[in-house]
Amino acid sequence: MAGENPKPIIEIENLKVHFKMREGVVKAVDGVNLSLMPGEVLGVVGESGSGKSVTVRTIMQLLPKIASIADGKVLFNDNGTTTDIAKLAKNSRDMRALRGGKIGMIFQEPMTALSPVHTIGHQVMTPILLHTGLSKREAEQRAKETLDMVRLPRIEEMMRSYPHQLSGGMRQRAMIATALACRPKVLIADEPTTALDVTTEAQILDLLKELKRELGMSIVFITHNFGVVADIADRVSVMYLGNVVETGTTEDIFYDPRHPYTRALLNSIPRLGAEKQPRLNTIPGMIPDPYRLPAGCVFNPRCSAATDQLCRTTYPGITRINDHRMARCHRVAEAVATESIAP
């Protein structure tokens, strides 16, 4: 993990992303704070609709047309210069230089993320030709090195292959190669193993861990699978309904979760080899309609610890539990306050 208080490579501050729909405005991301330290893997977990994908897509300025950044900063710190990505225009020169250059991204479905009518070689070379001054021949060499780096076999043949000729796991490797072609500082991985079988998933997770070490990059890893996040992440942010409810080291989140939502989620997943329980624990109710959000803390209707005075009336602020832990919960704030009074 990171050394003595280095500057985060990506800092998201109070980010708000709104979607203008026919029925009204959906606050898909509503005040998110996240930071990615150099060389770490930050896991972002949450259920569908929690805003995890929208949050990280903002880093790449890959939002749909109906979405707009309503507020907040997305700071990218590189070599002493700081860029606020949220202020950059989608198609500006600076943004295009970052996207695919300094910041790479991999997706869930390699079949839709890769072009079906271009060869793998072409698709790995394209970002190199766009972002570096290399000649075509040098770019080809770099592309081959990248394919080798993601452990693809028969490189020469692979350069000339089309995505449909590859198996699911190999396609995922090819997509990772396109993202890593320019040796990015930051890799954004949006559910990259969700569509894969467990044995292939294990291969890809191992590959990403090795590549992180070899290239010294930082990874934002989005998933809804707690097993995957426990395996790959150094720190974890848990999202619910447009906001981060808890951030901490992976150990903290899994062995000492503080937010009631994190606790309930971890309780509801069956664990391999655990003593058999007659019923699974569930979280009562369901994720609310984004047009009719509950007053106060958005989790309060499903929360077992919610109180009438605070939780149902006031949106909770951020409580810093210690240097690397935060939660957005009135009850955690109360607990932390009593702890600090009576040490």
For residue 195, the minimal CB distance to another protein (Å) is 9
CA distances from 320 to 2, 233, 317 (A): 20, 21, 10
- Residues numbered 238-257 forming contacts with another protein, rule: CB under 8 A: 250-251, 254-255
Q: Give the x/- contact pattern for another protein in 5-34, rule: CB under 8 A.
A: ------------------------------
Token duo for residue 86 = 């949220």
| Binding residue (CB under 8 A) for another protein from 51, 72, 169, 248 | 169
Do the beta carbons of residue 9 and residue 80 sit within 8 Å? Answer: no
Nearer to another protein, 227 or 301 (CB): 227
Tell which residue, 240, 218, 258, has the closest CA to residue 32. 240
For residue 166, the minimal CB distance to another protein (Å) is 10
| Binding residue (CB under 8 A) for another protein from 145, 157, 206, 256 | 206
Coil vs helix vs strand at 212: helix
Nearer to another protein, 167 or 309 (CB): 167
For residue 271, the minimal CB distance to another protein (Å) is 6
Residues 6+ apart with CB under 8 A from 208: 176, 189, 192, 219, 221, 232
Q: Which residue has the tokens 């009438």?
A: 308
Nearer to another protein, 135 or 282 (CB): 282
For residue 270, the minimal CB distance to another protein (Å) is 4
| Binding residue (CB under 8 A) for another protein from 58, 226, 248, 303 | 226
283 scored as a contact of another protein (CB under 8 A): yes
The stretch near another protein (CB under 8 A) out of 108-116, 182-190, 264-272, 318-326 is 264-272
Nearer to another protein, 262 or 319 (CB): 262
Distance CA 213, CA 174 (A): 19
CA distances from 283 to 43, 125, 280, 293, 299 (A): 22, 47, 10, 17, 11
For residue 261, the minimal CB distance to another protein (Å) is 9
Do the beta carbons of residue 108 and residue 53 sit within 8 Å? Answer: no
224 scored as a contact of another protein (CB under 8 A): yes
Sheet bearing 81-84, strands edge to edge: 24-36, 10-21, 67-78, 81-84
The stretch near another protein (CB under 8 A) out of 27-35, 57-65, 168-176, 316-324 is 168-176
Nearer to another protein, 286 or 341 (CB): 286
Tell which residue, 65, 64, 40, 42, has the closest CA to residue 54. 64
164 scored as a contact of another protein (CB under 8 A): no
184 half-sphere exposure, CB direction, 13 A CA radius: 27
| Binding residue (CB under 8 A) for another protein from 66, 89, 269, 337 | 269
Long-range (24+ apart) CB contacts under 8 A made by 288-294 are: 288/241, 290/26, 290/27, 290/28, 290/49, 290/241, 291/23, 291/24, 291/26, 293/27, 293/241
Do the beta carbons of residue 226 and residue 269 sit within 8 Å? Answer: yes
Nearer to another protein, 172 or 218 (CB): 172
2 scored as a contact of another protein (CB under 8 A): no
167 scored as a contact of another protein (CB under 8 A): yes
Distance CA 65, CA 58 (A): 12
Q: Which residues bind another protein (CB under 8 A)?
A: 47-48, 167-170, 197-203, 205-206, 224-232, 250-251, 254-255, 264-266, 268-273, 276-277, 279-283, 286-287
